[in-house]
């Protein structure tokens, strides 16, 4: 029996982010990327889905707010 570790990938509708550190929790990875991408600061993560050898976490961005 062979154990295969899935690579984590974090996706928004527009961009894909690789896993910066596999030892971090998915929420901590989101915080790391939020430093450079402020729109991710209020985002949430969906459950991972497995596709090939990747665990894909979908990032749900909050809706854009407008005044008026």
- What is the domain count for the chain? 1
Q: Which domain holds residue 35?
A: 7-60
pLDDT for position 68: 60
Band the pLDDT of 17: cuts 50, 70, 90: very high
- Residue 49 in domain: yes
Cα gap 46→58, rounded to integer Å = 5
pLDDT for position 5: 80
- Residue 1 in domain: no
Cα gap 32→19, rounded to integer Å = 10
Band the pLDDT of 43: cuts 50, 70, 90: very high
Residues facing 7 on adjacent strands: 54
The arithmetic mean of pLDDT across residues 28-39, rounded, is: 94
pLDDT for position 1: 81
DSSP for 27-65 reads: HHHHHHHHTT-GGGTT-EEPPPEEETTEEEEEEEPPPPP
pLDDT for position 34: 94
């Amino acid at each position: 029996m062979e154990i295969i570790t899935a690579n984590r990938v974090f996706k928004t509708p527009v961009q894909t982010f690789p896993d910066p550190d596999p030892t971090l929790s998915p929420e901590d990875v989101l915080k790391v990327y939020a430093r450079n991408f402020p729109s991710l600061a209020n985002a949430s993560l969906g459950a991972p889905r497995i596709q090939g050898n990747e665990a894909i976490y979908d990032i749900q961005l909050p809706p854009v707010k407008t005044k008026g």
